Amino acid sequence: MHEVRQVANLAPSTQTPALLEENQTVERALNGDLDAFNQLVLSYQRLAFSVAYRMLQDEDAAADAVQDSFIKAYRALHTFRGGVFKSWLLRIVVNTCYDMLRVRQRYPADSIDDEPGEDEYVPQLVDDTESPHDYAERMEVSELIEHGIRSLPADQRLALVLCDVHGYAYEEIAEITGAAMGTVKSRISRARTRLRDFLLQKPELLPAGLRPKRE
């Protein structure tokens, strides 16, 4: 009789409905259900692409990294031993991106100024009461922040994006990146400092409360 693998570490009564449903989907995928794996792909492809794009700063490269990562994940499903599937998957995405960055450093190509599309990479809430002037200012601030994030070293950029954009806790970031907790905290702290210094180079674009005070 075919042995059904169990991956959920938590008793059903302690799981949220969403986590319970995901664990059931993961279990089906582990037992050869391709539709279940495709369901996981659909659930996480936007998140995976967001992380890959922030790391690689190139739309086509990010799409390739995500595709390669899902293939690797499917082939490595037998190594999943429970826990948070999303973190396990993002660890594969991150490692794939680091591999691509190493290849890029070995064989540098001409740089391409690839700006993110504001609707896809910098989602904005639409406010019908917002004036055209306020909207333009908000777009300028968003673009400045994006440039600041892109200026960070890859490891700091990744830690900052996972923490401040996607809302991961330090423990989750350590699991995803394979870095020690102290390293994660240091990277985030340094990234925030560097981003702040970058933004202060254009104080006129910042909200009044964030502008440096004049002596």
Which CATH number belongs to the domain containing residue 140 in this structure?
1.10.10.10
**Which pLDDT belongs to residue 142?**
74
CA dist 182 → 66, 170, 171, 175 (Å)? 28, 9, 10, 13
Question: Could you tell me if residue 1 is inside a domain?
Answer: no
Contact 29, 5 (CB under 8 A): no
Does the predicted TM-score (pTM) go above 0.75?
no
**Which pLDDT belongs to residue 13?**
44
Q: Residue 206 corresponds to which tokens in the numbers above? A: 């910042």
Q: Are residues 143 and 101 in the same domain?
A: no
Q: Are residues 125 and 203 in the same domain?
A: yes
**Which pLDDT belongs to residue 176?**
92
Q: Which mean pLDDT values do the consecutive 10-residue runs of the chain (215 residues) have?
A: 45 62 88 92 93 90 95 92 88 94 72 40 46 62 82 92 91 92 95 89 61 50
Domain, as residue range, for 201: 115-215
Q: Which of 113, 136, 162 is the last residue of a domain?
A: 113
The CATH number of the domain where 86 resides is what? 1.10.1740.10
Q: Are residues 56 and 147 in the same domain?
A: no
Q: Are residues 129 and 147 in the same domain?
A: yes
Helices assigned H by DSSP within the chain: 17-30, 34-56, 59-75, 85-106, 118-121, 132-150, 154-160, 170-177, 181-199
Q: Are residues 23 and 98 in the same domain?
A: yes
pLDDT tens for each residue of 182-195: 999 999 999 999 99
**Which pLDDT belongs to residue 137?**
60
Q: Are residues 161 and 76 in the same domain?
A: no
**Which pLDDT belongs to residue 198?**
86
Q: Are residues 107 and 130 in the same domain?
A: no
Helices assigned H by DSSP within 131-180: 132-150, 154-160, 170-177
Q: How many Å apart are CA 165 and CA 89, to the nearest integer?
A: 18
Q: Which of 98, 113, 128 is the last residue of a domain?
A: 113
Classify burial at 52, counting beta carbons within 10 Å of its beta carbon; exposed 0-12, middle 13-18, buried 19 or more.
Answer: buried
